[in-house]
Amino acid sequence: MFEVHHQHRGVIRRQQPAPAPQYSIRMECRKRQDYGVHLTADILSPQDSILPALLANRKALAVTTSTVYKYYGRQLEQLIRQCDLDMSVHVLEGGESNKTIASVERICNEALATKMDRRSVLVGIGGGVCTDVVAMAASAIRRGIDHMRVPTTLIGLVDAGIGLKGGVNLGSKKNYFGCFNPPSQALLDPAFLNTLPEACVRYGMAEILKMALVTDRELFRLCEAHQQALIESRFSDPWEIGREIIWRSTRSMLDELQKNPYEDQTYQRLVDMGHCFSPALEAATGYRMHHGEAVAIDMALTVTLAEALGMMDPSERNRFVDVLLQAGLPIHAPELTPALCEAALDEAEQHRGGAVHFPVPIEIGRCLFIEDRAKLPGRLIETALRRLAGEARDMHTNTH
What is the binding site for ligand NAD (CB under 6 A)? 65, 67-68, 71, 94-96, 99, 126-130, 132, 152-153, 155-156, 159-160, 163, 165, 175, 192, 195-196, 200, 203
In the complex, what is the shortest distance from the CB of residue 50 to ligand NAD, in angstroms, rounded to a whole number? 19
From 216, 245, 215, select the one nearest 230 (Cα to Cα). Answer: 245
Q: How far is the CB of 146 from ligand NAD (least distance, A)?
A: 17
Q: Between 148 and 200, whose beta carbon lies closer to ligand NAD?
A: 200
Residue 101 or 368 having the CB closest to ligand NAD: 101
- In angstroms, rounded to a whole number, what is the distance separating the alpha carbons of residues 75 and 118? 28
Q: Which is closer to ligand NAD, CB of 68 or CB of 376? A: 68
CA 112 – CA 115 distance, rounded (Å)? 5
Residue number with CB closer to ligand NAD (195 or 266): 195
Chain-centre distance for alpha carbon 89: 25
| Amino acid identity, position 392 | A
Cβ of residue 269: shortest distance to ligand NAD, in angstroms? Answer: 13
Give the residue with the Cβ less far from ligand NAD, 61 or 157.
157
**Closest CB to ligand NAD among 57 and 78?**
78
| Residue 175 beta carbon to ligand NAD: minimum distance, rounded to whole angstroms | 6
Residue 149 beta carbon to ligand NAD: minimum distance, rounded to whole angstroms: 9
Burial class (CB in 10 A: 0-12, 13-18, 19+), 362: middle
Which of 126, 370 has the CB closer to ligand NAD? 126
Sheet holding 146-151, edge to edge: 36-39, 185-188, 146-151, 121-126, 60-65, 87-92
Give min distance, CB of 208 to ligand NAD, in A.
Answer: 12
> Minimal distance in Å, beta carbon 151 to ligand NAD?
7
C-beta separation of 185 from 148 below 8 A: yes
Q: CA 316, CA 109: separation in Å to the nearest integer? A: 53
